[in-house]
Amino acid sequence: MTFDLYTTLYIVAIIAEAMTAALLAGKLEMDLVGVFLLGWITALGGGSIRDVLLNHYPLSWVRHPSYPLITGFAALATIMVAQHMHRLRKLFLFLDAIGLVVFTVMGCQVAMTEHLSVVCVIISGMITGCMGGVLRDILCNDIPLLFRSELYGTVSVSTGVVFLCCSHIVDNRNIELLISMIFGISFRLLSIRYNWTLPRFSYRS
Amino acid sequence: MTFDLYTTLYIVAIIAEAMTAALLAGKLEMDLVGVFLLGWITALGGGSIRDVLLNHYPLSWVRHPSYPLITGFAALATIMVAQHMHRLRKLFLFLDAIGLVVFTVMGCQVAMTEHLSVVCVIISGMITGCMGGVLRDILCNDIPLLFRSELYGTVSVSTGVVFLCCSHIVDNRNIELLISMIFGISFRLLSIRYNWTLPRFSYRS
Amino acid sequence: MTFDLYTTLYIVAIIAEAMTAALLAGKLEMDLVGVFLLGWITALGGGSIRDVLLNHYPLSWVRHPSYPLITGFAALATIMVAQHMHRLRKLFLFLDAIGLVVFTVMGCQVAMTEHLSVVCVIISGMITGCMGGVLRDILCNDIPLLFRSELYGTVSVSTGVVFLCCSHIVDNRNIELLISMIFGISFRLLSIRYNWTLPRFSYRS
C-alpha cells in the first residue's frame, strides 16, 4: 500500500515534469527528438544526479526501463494538448508542485536509507527535487530558474526539513509523506499566488 | 581481429569527433587550451557519461590514458588543416557519421554485456553516440544540436535497434558491426544530403 | 601536522572559490538561494566531478557535511563585504590562486593514491582545479573562462607536473606541497600581472 502510493505519486510527478519540459521545448521550437529527450532528462535527471553523487546504483531508469518511455511519450503527448494548456494552467501548476515535493521526499529517503548526515539528507532531497529543472534550463541555454527566482529551492529545502522532523516524530511512512506534501504543495502554491520572492544580490564591479 | 577492427574504428571516431569540436572552438575563437579540452571532452564525454550512469568503471580514458592525448592533439592538429577544411568537407562528414555509428554500437554493447533491458541498451547507445556533442554545445553556450535539428538522435536510436536485431540473428560480431554501420552511415549521409528533418513543436504561451 | 596544513588550505580554497562565485551571482542579480547554491557548486563541484569519474566514493561533502554549509555561507557573507571588494581585489586574486593550486594538488594526490597513470594524475588535478569554475560558468550561461582566456588550465596542468616531479624526488609531503604552491601561485599571479595569454584559434567556415 505504501509502495503503491509512492509509486503512483512518483509517476504523476515524472509525467508532470516531462510536460513542463515539453512546453519549454515548444517555445524553443525543438524537433520531436528534442521534445522527447528534454522531457525524459528533466523528469529523471534530478534522481540520476543524486544517485551518481551518492553512489546509489543502479539508477531508477535502469531498474525500471518503462520510466524513460513514460516520460518521453508524456512529453510528446503534450504537443497534442498544448493548445488547451492555458485552460489547464492551474492543474498543471498543481501537478508540478506535486512533482517538486514528491521528488524531494524520495531524495531525502534515499539518503536516509544510506544513513547519511542531516545536511546530506536535505541536499539529497533538493538535488532530486530541483536538478532536473536545472538540467532542463542548461540544455535550453538559460540561467537556471532555481538560481533566479521563484521559491523552488526554498520549498524543496523546507519540505526536506519538515519530512526529516516528521520521520523522527511519526512512525508511519504514509503520514510522514502526507504532512510533507500538504506543507510543500501549500508553500509552493502560496508562493506562486502571492509572488513571494527572495531578496536578490545585485553587484556591479 | 574483432578487437582490432573495433579499436581502429573507435580511434577514427574519437579523432573525427575531436576535429568537429575543434572547428567549433575556432568559430568561437577559443585559445589552445580550450581547443584541446573541447576536443577531448566532445570525443570522450559521451562514453564517460554512459559509464558513470551505468556504474561501468574504470572509464575508458582511465584505462587508456593515450585517448585524451590522441583527441586533444587531434583537436590541435585541426588548427593546421583548418584552412583546407572546405575541400575536406565530405570526408569530414563521412568520418563524423562513422563516429556517431561506432559510438552508438559500442554503447549498446556495454549495456548488453551488463545484461540490461532492451530500452537501456538503446539509451546506452544513444548516450554514447550523442552526449559528447551535447556537452560540446553546452560548453559553447548553445542549445544542443541534438534537440533542434539534424537526425543525430534518430540515426543513433535506429542504428541501436538494427544492431540489437542483428545480434539476435547473426552470431558474428564483425558482421553485426558491419550491417549496423552500413545502415547508420547511409541513414546519416542521406539525411544530410536530402535535408531530412523531423517535425518541430512550436508553442506560444 | 600535514593533515592540518592541507585541511586549512583546502578550507581557504573552497571559501575563496565560493566568494568568486557569489560575486558573479551578484552581477547576474541572482536571489539568495542562487548565491548560496552557486557558491557551493563552484567550490565543491570540481572535486565531485573528479570523484564521480574516478569512482572515488563517498564524495568529500558527503564525508564532511560542514563543507556545503561553509561554502554556502561564505557565498552569502560575500554579499555583506561586496561593496569593499574593490579594495580587497589583490587579496582576493591571491586567495583564488591558492584555491586553484591547492585543488590541483589534491586532485593529483587522489589519482596517485589510486595508482593511476601519469596522464590521469594530471587530468585529475586539472579537473579538480578547473571544473568548479566550468560548472559556475555553465550555470551562469556563459562560455567557460577556462576555454577562452587566462591561463587557468595551463597553470593547473603545469602545477600538476611540478607536483608529480616533486613527489618522485622529495620524500616530504609538506615540501612537495610548498614547492608546487610557490610555483603555481607565482605563475598564476604573473600571468594576471602581465596579461599572459595563449594564442587563439580563429576559424571562419
The answer to whether A146 contacts C37, with C-beta atoms less than 8 Å apart, is yes
Predicted confidence at residue A205, as pLDDT, reads: 67
CB nearest C23 (choices: A154, A199, A203): A203
Tens-place pLDDT, residues B20-54: 899 889 989 898 988 999 999 999 999 999 999 99
Does residue C167 have a pLDDT over 70? yes
Does residue A3 have a pLDDT over 70? no
Does residue B200 have a pLDDT over 60? yes
Tens-place pLDDT, residues A79-115: 888 888 777 778 878 888 998 999 999 999 999 999 9
The answer to whether B146 contacts A37, with C-beta atoms less than 8 Å apart, is yes
Which residues of A, range 31-70, sit inside 8 Å of C by Cβ? 52-55
Predicted confidence at residue A201, as pLDDT, reads: 87
Average pLDDT, stretch C178-195? 93
Which residue of C49, C55, C139, C201 is the best one to mutate when testing the B interface, meaning the one whose CB has the most B CBs within 10 A?
C201
Predicted confidence at residue A172, as pLDDT, reads: 85
Residue C200 backbone phi and psi in degrees, to 5 = -105, 155
Does residue B148 have a pLDDT over 80? no
A85 in contact with chain B, both atoms CB, cutoff 8 A = yes
Chains near B with 3+ CB pairs less than 8 A apart are: A, C
Average pLDDT, stretch C142-163? 88
Predicted confidence at residue B158, as pLDDT, reads: 95
- Reported as a pLDDT band with limits 50, 70 and 90, residue B166 is very high
Predicted confidence at residue C205, as pLDDT, reads: 67
The letter for the amino acid at A205 is S
Predicted confidence at residue A94, as pLDDT, reads: 87
B8-22, C21-35, C78-92 — which is least confidently predicted? Answer: C78-92
Q: Which residues of B touch A38 (CB under 8 A)?
A: 147
The answer to whether B27 contacts C54, with C-beta atoms less than 8 Å apart, is no
The letter for the amino acid at A181 is M
The letter for the amino acid at C15 is I
The answer to whether B199 contacts A138, with C-beta atoms less than 8 Å apart, is no
Alpha carbon of A29 to those of A73, A79, B198, C75: distances in Å? 17, 11, 11, 37
Does residue A1 have a pLDDT over 70? no
Percent of chain B past pLDDT 90, that is, above it, reads 62
Predicted confidence at residue B43, as pLDDT, reads: 96
Tens-place pLDDT, residues A30-88: 989 899 999 999 999 999 999 999 999 999 999 999 999 999 999 999 988 888 877 77
If one counts every other C-beta atom within 10 angstroms of the C-beta of residue A11, the result is 18
Q: Which residues of A touch C61 (CB under 8 A)?
A: 120, 123
Contacts of C100 (CB under 8 A, 6+ apart): C129, C130, C152, C155, C156, C159, C184, C188
The letter for the amino acid at A171 is D
The answer to whether A147 contacts C23, with C-beta atoms less than 8 Å apart, is no
Chains near A with 3+ CB pairs less than 8 A apart are: B, C
CA distance B60 to C72: 34
Average pLDDT, stretch C73-82? 90
Tens-place pLDDT, residues C41-76: 999 999 999 999 999 999 999 999 999 999 999 999
Does residue B3 have a pLDDT over 60? no
Contacts of C128 (CB under 8 A, 6+ apart): C46, C47, C50, C103, C104, C106, C107, C110
Q: Quote the mean pLDDT of chain C.
A: 90
Task: Estimate to the nearest angstrom the gap between the alpha carbon of C1 and the chain centroid.
Answer: 23
**Cβ contact C167:C112 at 8 Å:** yes
Q: Quote the mean pLDDT of chain B.
A: 90
Does residue C96 have a pLDDT over 80? yes
Predicted confidence at residue C1, as pLDDT, reads: 44
Tens-place pLDDT, residues A114-156: 999 999 999 999 999 999 999 999 999 988 888 877 788 999 9
Q: Which residues of B touch A52 (CB under 8 A)?
A: 52-53
